[in-house]
Structure 1
Amino acid sequence: MLFTNPAASRRPYDPALQRVMNLAAARESRQWLAGWTQLRRGSTPLHALPHLARQLGLGQLHLKDESVRSPLASFKVLGAPAALLRLVLRQWPDAGWAPADLLAGRHADALAGFTAISATDGNHGRALAAAAQSMGCRCVIVLHAQVSAERERPIRALGAEVVRITGNYDDSVQEAERLARAHGWWVVSDTSYEGYEDIPRDVMQGYGILVDELLEQMPGNPCPFTHVMLQGGVGGLAAGVVAPLWERYGAQRPTFIAVEPQQADCLLQSAIAGRASRATGSVDSVMAGLACGETSPLAWRFLQPAVDHFMTVGDAEAEAAMRTLASGAAGDVPVLSGESGAAGLAGLAALMADPARAAQAGLGAGSRVLLISTEGATAPGVYEAITGRSPASVLQAQAEWMARPLHT
């Protein structure tokens, strides 16, 4: 399904929104995290995919590859650590601590009694656990019934305490909030709710690092992309990308298309209702990072006026997109993209296979499209079962492709 958002408009970035999220704060987060041992040095790659673009009938196609952002293999490592840093600095305003020193564990003694807690589908929890381990504070992660043991093990390995519940992601969010109130802990979540916006805002500012890098990798005016495909979830990543691109390009911003699982369509339902809403399906998808049932109200304030189209894809379409990227069959660089990471390509391929929907979205031979592969093989067993390839074999094929004298 493709739904054109009647509330989207072309106008300068709203000053009220700019006070909440802006490029300056994203750039500051980038500087704070730059020396952290859990992050690679420099920007993640922006791959051109010219052969796949031709196959799909597009002018240009680029992919921002977050699989190599960190050993944690996900863009989430930008959000939770940035938010945890800002939270700690707010709690100790007179301490004069430098973010680099916090991440190096130099104030671990002072933080020994501080506990961060969050619900997760996997990647956000790993990122928060890694940041807490580096800083020396306690971390508790709430996992719902659909989170696999394969995703749980890396969280425990980073020193976090895991609480298991029955129910889905939204139930785990409520349990994390209950535990935080009961014990005096701090929720570090990427989804907002009434009375809780500062930390989700800081998470989204961390995601804005992606755009700060993109503006260096492909500078220019007008925007080098006509369309940006955005993974859905609660809306945090989408808002973290939309806001800085809207700030930079104003009324000349690219067309934004949000993609989410058919059974976890909370953003689509929000666009139809005109307010932050819940999904209509089971919220159980192979796209685990997008299997969210309720839109973040804070994120929706940015998405409602700027995302032009909302769409859903099936699990089989996401799996096919994973295989396309892994194989490099079109002749482009092979990319290690996980279930949620490939959702943008799944949505794009579905649109280009339907001329009417492609026309509705303004996609065609002159379009210059950006994909964000948000994760690598964060569950290696699931990845290999879907693609028929081990993560190591895809990375080897990528290295061999990159070593060619000419990338043709």
Structure 2
Amino acid sequence: MLVENRFAVRAPYSDDLRDIMSIAKAKESREWLSHWSELTREPTPLVPLQGLARELGVARIDLKDESKRASLGSFKALGASIALVRLIQRIWPERNYQAKDLFQGKHAQALSNFTVISATDGNHGRSLAAAAHDIGCRCVIVLHKNVSMEREEAIASHGATIVRIAGNYDASVEEAARLAKENDWRVVSDTSYDGYEEIPRDVMQGYGTIPEEILEQLEVGANDACPYTHVFLQGGVGGMAAGIASYLNERFGAKRPTYIAVEPKQADCLYQSAIAGRAANATGSVDSVMAGLACGETSPLAWRFLQPSVDYFLTIDDGEAVEAMRVLASGQAGDAPVVSGESGAAGLAGLMHLVKNEELRIKTGLNDQARILLISTEGATAPAVYEELVGKSASAVLASQSKWLDQACV
């Protein structure tokens, strides 16, 4: 289902929003993250999908492959880590902790009794656990019943203590808050709520690395127009979408691209927010194969950025996400094969959904002049689940990708 956002505008980036998230802070976060050994030094690949663009009847499709961001396999590595650094700096301003020294574990002894906690569907918790391990503090991660054992094991491998609950993601958020209060721990969450905005802001600010890299990769000059007419953004609580949109809005102002947010039908909190005109809750079960997007409550802070900028909110079926995973894995129409996880492929699933319906294609302007940016937010973060859904292993897809790249260089 598609809903047009009646509150979306095309205007210069407001000072109120710039005070919360800005290109300047995104650049600072990116520089700090360059000192963390878990992250790759080079930008993640921007993969042209020229064959798929022809098949779908658009001018261009580029896919930012965040599976190559780090060994963590997800864009979430950019958010949780920088939020943890900024939290530590706020708690102990007199110690003048520098990001480089924190990431290198130089203050591990001083921070050994400091504990952070978060709920997660997998990627955020794994990233927080990895950052906490390298910085030297303790980490507790609350997992709900639908998080796979593969994802639990990946988080635990970084030394985090795991707490399992019987409920869904939103219940795990509540349990993390309860444990934090009971034990005097600090919550590092990617969703905001009343009285809790600084850390989610820092998480979202870390995601500004993605659009900055893209514009550099395309060599977009300071006075150049936006290279894309449309950007598809995964939903969830709205943090990633807000982080990307805020950067592009500040850079391009009224000439920003059209944003289309995509989320599961059963976890439609952003879709419902667009209808209500305020941050709202999902109406479905929330459970979805798109685990990273299976969120029931919109982040109020993220909504402050999404309400004036996202043009359309789209819900998709789980089957559409799986189909998009397979399309990317196959290297359809001669494109490079890409490993994209259940949530990572949601943007492509949204694009495919819209172009198959002529009315929706026309409504959203997805014509033969459209230039599309997709962000594959994760790779095979649960390898067995990926293989079951795609019909081949991630390693097999990567082998095909390597072969394609070798042939392209001949």
Q: TM-score, length-normalised on structure 2?
A: 0.98
Tell me what 1:168 maps to. 168
Conservation of the 8 A alpha-carbon contact between 2:53 and 2:61: yes
Counterpart among 276, 280, 285 of residue 277 in structure 1: 280
Question: Per-residue CA shift, 1:4-38, capped at 9, x if unaligned?
Answer: 10000111111100110011111111100112111
In structure 2, distance between residues paired with 1:222 and 1:107: 44
Deviation at 1:329, TM superposition (A): 2.0
Residue aligned with 2:81, SS:
helix
Alignment of 1:374-389 (within 5 A): 374-389=377-392
The CA deviation string for residues 130-178 of structure 1, in whole angstroms up to 9 with x for no partner, is 0000001000000011111111011111100011111110111111111
Cα separation, 2, equivalents of 1:145 and 1:196: 25
In structure 1, distance between residues paired with 2:306 and 2:239? 10
Q: Distance in 2 between matches of 1:258 and 1:57?
A: 20
Q: Secondary structure at the match of 2:270?
A: helix
SS of alignment partner, residue 338 of structure 2: coil
SS of alignment partner, residue 263 of structure 1? helix
User: Are residue 307 (structure 1) and residue 310 (structure 2) matched?
Assistant: yes
3-state SS of the aligned residue for 1:308? strand
Quote the Cα distance in structure 1 between the aligned partners of 2:409 and 2:363: 37
Structure-2 separation of matches of 1:306 and 1:405: 38
SS at match of 1:233: coil
Task: Letter of the 1:229 partner, please give it.
Answer: F
The alpha carbon displacement at 1:91 in A equals 1.1
Q: Distance in 1 between matches of 2:387 and 2:210?
A: 27
Q: 1:53, CA displacement in angstroms? A: 0.2
Find runs of 4+ consecutive structure 1 residues off by over 3 angstroms: none
SS in 2 for 1:111: coil
CA distance in 2, matches of 1:363, 1:191: 31
Q: Which amino acid aligns with 1:168?
A: N
CA distance in 2, matches of 1:286, 1:233: 13
What is the CA-CA distance between 1:389 and the residue it aligns to? 1.0
Question: Using the alignment, how far apart are the partners of 1:315 and 1:244 within structure 2?
Answer: 29
- Which residue does the alignment assign to 1:338? 341
How far residue 189 of structure 1 moved from its aligned partner, in angstroms, is 0.3
Percent identity between the aligned chains?
62
Work out the CA distance in 2 between the residues paired with 1:329 and 1:202: 37
Tell me by how many angstroms 1:405 deviates: 4.1
Residue 365, structure 1, aligned to residue 368, structure 2: yes
Aligned equivalents of 2:56 and 2:336: distance in 1? 16
Indicate the residue corresponding to 1:139 in structure 2. Answer: 139
**1:329 aligns to 2:315 (yes or no):** no
Moved more, 287-296 or 42-51: 42-51
Looking at structure 2, the residues matched to 131 and 199 of structure 1 have their Cα atoms a distance apart, in angstroms, of: 15
Structure 2 partner of 1:49: 49
Structure 2 equivalent of residue 193 of structure 1: 193
Which residues of 2 match residues 4-403 of structure 1 at below 5 A? 4-218=4-218, 219-220=220-221, 221-403=224-406
Q: Structure 1 residue 400: deviation in Å? A: 1.0
The residue type paired with residue 205 of structure 1 is Q
Structure 1 length normalisation: TM-score? 0.99
Deviates more, 1:120-129 or 1:356-365: 356-365
Unmatched runs of 5 consecutive residues or more in structure 1 = none
Question: Match of 1:222, as an amino acid?
Answer: A
Q: What secondary structure does 1:10 align onto?
A: coil
2:58 partner SS: coil
Deviations 1:358-400 (A, max 9, x none): 1111111000000000000000000000111111111111111
Give the distance between the partners of 1:24 and 1:74, measured in 2 at CA. Answer: 23
Separation in 2 of the partners of 1:26 and 1:176?
Answer: 28
Structure 1 residues 268-287: Cα deviation after superposition (integer angstroms, max 9, x where no partner): 00000000000000000000
* 8 Å CA contact retained: 2:51, 2:332: no
